[in-house]
Amino acid sequence: MLQELYALSPGLLETEPRDLEAVLGGPTLIHLSGNRKPALFVSVLLHGNEPVGWNALRSLLADYRKRFGTLRLPRSLSLFIGNVAAAASGVRRLPGQPDYNRIWPGCESPPTPEHAMMQQVVAGMRRRGLFASVDIHSNTGCNPHYGCVNVLDDRYLHLATLFSRTVVYFTRPRDVQSFAMSRLGPAVTLECGKVGEKHGVDHAREYLDACLHLSALPQHPVASGDIDLFHTVAQVKLPEAVSFGFPPGPADILLIPELEHLNFRELPPGTALGRVNPHQGVRLEVRDEQGRDVADRYFSTAHGELCLKLPAMPAMLTCDEAAIRQDCLCYLMERYDAHSPQRQ
């Protein structure tokens, strides 16, 4: 399924995300030579409704080409353009498709041709070597721009803080691009704000330009005043059998309308996220980094309200019901401190 190219197709940089499938035919890995090696690996459109990465990169490459009359890069670039079929429809993934950011090596789900494709991408980059890996995404809810890492190593943290002082460390889910690529070298996921925001495209473009100009990543610790580091402690999902929505519609769980504005706020115990049907025995699916069920530790449903039992900071809360169903309700985080894993 994977197409591998060593030059840009004619007209590719002028191609809108919805038209990439018609031009490329499917997921494509493109290797472009630059002044320095090894290459910066960048993945875009793993979710078809998040065009920020492609729009940032094609703008940057078009500017390089215009400036020099040819595509002259300060560092080699390997670009993976992912779910172009979903991008053609402007959706995260098509019905029947797996999530392109939940099928990378290390995942536990049943194998599919798409799993094999991601294994091929990683194996190819292992052979070629990489300078660093960047996976670019947007959110459907209100979140700040932030970077995510899966390894507490100073090079990885410098790569993240080059984008934002807000950095999230997580080790679950383990089937994402950044987790697979972190075994090959410094890797980061960029979260570039809400879908469609121009600032997200501009910020991602500036970041990629900076990465391509780096000669090396610093190995000294990031100064404590230059980073706000958070640790993901749990993922929260709504069971398939549980109906949900927002007022005034009937459902097993009615989430509060201002839900997404709770993102990256340190919430006290008792904070309500919604109301539950007391007759349905509604219970969230909450898993910690070891995959353990911790729903009763973090949530209560007393008196018909879905409330936090412990202080927590959520991320990726959204009012987009499709995104909640296809991915999760949110992640819960805490500030990094001494009981989190030590830097490698």
pLDDT at 339 over 60: no
The last residue of one of the domains, among 226, 249, 279, is 226
Out of 68-72, 160-164, 210-214, 337-341, least confident range: 337-341
CATH number of the domain within which 86 lies = 3.40.630.10
pLDDT of amino acid 68: 87
* Mean pLDDT, residues 255-267: 95
E strand or H helix at 129, and its extent? Answer: none
Same domain, 274 and 220: no
d(CA 284, CA 105): 28
Alpha carbon of 340 to those of 152, 172, 187, 230: distances in Å? 10, 14, 19, 10
**Closest residue by Cα to residue 314 from 258, 246, 261, 262:** 262
Structure confidence by residue, pLDDT tens digits, 70-97 = 999 999 999 999 999 999 999 999 999 9
**Closest residue by Cα to residue 31 from 71, 59, 70, 60:** 71
Same domain, 219 and 269: no
Range of the domain at 263: 232-335
pTM recorded for the entire structure: 0.92
Q: Which residue has the tokens 């997200």?
A: 200
Same domain, 85 and 153: yes
**Closest residue by Cα to residue 139 from 196, 215, 209, 188:** 196
Structure confidence by residue, pLDDT tens digits, 227-247 = 999 999 999 999 999 999 999
Hey, which residues does 330 pair with through a beta bridge?
A: 236
pLDDT band at 303 (very low <50, low <70, confident <90, very high): confident
Q: Which two tokens stand for residue 221?
A: 């610790």
* Dihedral angle sign, alpha carbons of residues 28, 119, 203, 329: positive
The last residue of one of the domains, among 182, 209, 226, is 226
E strand or H helix at 109, and its extent? Answer: none
Give the chain's end-to-end CA distance (angstroms, integer): 36
Same domain, 184 and 308: no
Longest dimension (CA), the chain: 68
- Please list, residue by residue across 116-135, b when 16 or more beta carbons sit within 10 angstroms of its beta carbon and e when fewer do: ebbbebbebbeeeebbbbbb
d(CA 146, CA 53): 14
Structure confidence by residue, pLDDT tens digits, 97-125 = 999 999 999 887 889 999 999 999 999 99
Domain count, the chain: 2
**Which region holds residue 106: left if phi is over 0, alpha if psi is between -120 and 50, else beta?**
left
H helices of the chain, in order, are 20-24, 52-68, 84-89, 113-128, 154-161, 177-181, 198-213, 295-298, 321-326
For 182-223, the DSSP string reads TTTS-EEEEEEEETT-HHHHHHHHHHHHHHHH-S----SPPP
Same domain, 155 and 28: yes
pLDDT at 341 over 80: no
* Mean pLDDT, residues 24-45: 98
Q: Which two tokens stand for residue 58?
A: 């094609």
Same domain, 289 and 211: no
